[in-house]
Amino acid sequence: MKPDRNDPAARILEIVAAIPEGRVATYGRVAGLAGVPRGARRVGRVLAELPEGSDIPWHRVVNACGRISPRGDAPIEGFQRHLLLEEGVEFSDTDRIDLDRFGI
DNA sequence: ACTCTGACGGAAT
DNA sequence: GATTCCGCCAGAG
């Protein structure tokens, strides 16, 4: 098996894994870098399948608004925010991240 | 094959 | 800034 085949999911995970600490990337950006234009939703789906304790820094992925995407009923928003704050990522008064500074 | 849904994005109101 | 609507891609029933 080749390490990197045409499986979009594998490429997406590699891109996310490559996001440096203290930085964030948008779903759309990750999709683009992974060679899957307009595959933002796909990125979200792949990350949603990740098991807990995964080495993938999924918390560094936010939506195009620089905000933490709501998962529905999961109180994970606070957790993700905590992880980012610990890495030095700053949130504005409106809970938004300045993508010009912390984005890739 | 069809319909519904979703960790999205962007334009319109 | 908050809502609403539409476009896009994939998986599930």
Question: Is strand B in 7 Å reach of the CB of A44?
Answer: yes
Convert the pLDDT of each residue in A2-42 to its tens digit: 656 689 999 999 999 999 999 999 999 999 999 999 999 99
For the cut 70, the answer to whether the pLDDT of residue A98 exceeds it is yes
- A19 in contact with nucleic chain B (CB within 7 A): no
**Mean per-residue pLDDT for A73-87?**
91
Predicted confidence (pLDDT) per residue in A32-65, tens digit: 999 999 999 999 999 999 999 999 999 999 999 9
Whether A6 sits with its Cβ under 7 A from any strand C atom: the answer reads: no
Q: Residue A73 pLDDT more than 80?
A: no
Q: Using the CA of A54, give the nucleotide whose C1' is nearest.
A: B7
pLDDT value at residue A6: 80
Q: What is the 3-state secondary structure (H, E, C) of A15-62?
A: HHHCCCCCCEEEHHHHHHHCCCCCCHHHHHHHHHCCCCCCCCCHHHEE
